Amino acid sequence: MTPSLSTLLVSGADARTFLQGQLSADIDALTPARAMLASCNSAQGRVQAVLWLVARSDGIALILPESMIERTAARLRKYVLRSKVGIDALPTGIELPEPHAYRELDWRLAGIRAGLPQVYPETHEAFVAQMLNLDLLGGVSFEKGCYTGQEIIARTHFRGAIKRRMFHFACSSPPPAPGTRILVGDQHAGEVVDAAATSAGCELLAVISLAQQDAALELESTRGTTLKKLPLPYAVGVGQASA
């Protein structure tokens, strides 16, 4: 069954100020007219969740996989302290179609083709924001003030050439689980970020070493099945650094 999305509502007088200090995007720029992409990070700059933010009359909605709701809510509540903020899971998830047939209505496949990353329990704290191309997608602000993980993410941005980025691939195998290792021969080259079924097998996003992005890549879970690199709808620059 295709995973469902669910929602956390961050409400209260200090909701925007609180999220500005916790998420990578500039929350001051969030308006009801447009959703915003952001990440929630550890103090070491590792991505704990990828979120879509929607401004509402009763607060700010954070949309993310249902499997990440409890962990993300607990993480955010640790930093509330004396802020006037409520963090509550909304009762109804967003129901999604079954992936048994190729359909453009499959949100997960559409997101993969758009080059939009996601984080699941298997990849919690596995990547920094730049590895997931969040800086290329407007999900990271380098002009806003401090937020949890900001020092590492900013240092990564300014210090040199990036070593790992997220790319789009097709494969004839069933969709691998997030976090599945990708190999070049017996050498580790990267990990799966997300995958969805197609009529020909699957399409996936994976964080890959730039030095190996055009090598003969294969999934560790299905050795002998090579990955075919597909284009992304945005340019993957290599001018920023990554851990």
**Predicted local distance difference test score (pLDDT) of residue 100:** 42
Determine the Cα–Cα distance for residues 217 and 223; give it in Å rounded to an integer: 10
**Predicted local distance difference test score (pLDDT) of residue 168:** 98
Determine the Cα–Cα distance for residues 125 and 196; give it in Å rounded to an integer: 22
Identity at 62, one-letter amino acid code = L
Give me the phi and psi of 114, to 5 degrees please.
-85, -5
Determine the Cα–Cα distance for residues 82 and 188; give it in Å rounded to an integer: 45
- Give CA separation, 118 vs 93, 200, 202, in Å: 17, 23, 16
- Give CA separation, 89 vs 6, 30, 41, 86, 196, in Å: 8, 20, 19, 10, 26
What is the three-class DSSP state of 140? coil
Asked if 124 and 12 touch (Cβ cutoff 8 Å), the reply is no
**Predicted local distance difference test score (pLDDT) of residue 3:** 63
Q: In this predicted model, what pLDDT tens digit does every residue of 95-131 receive, in sequence order?
A: 444 444 444 748 889 999 999 999 999 999 999 999 9
Q: Enumerate residue ranges in the chain where pLDDT < 50.
A: 1, 93-103, 105, 239-243
Length of the chain (residues): 243
**pTM flag (> 0.85):** yes
Taking alpha carbons only, the member of 8, 151, 143, 133 closest to residue 66 is 8
Asked if 132 and 207 touch (Cβ cutoff 8 Å), the reply is yes
Specify the pairing of strand 36-41 against strand 86-89: unpaired
150: part of which helix (H) or strand (E)?
Answer: helix 150-158
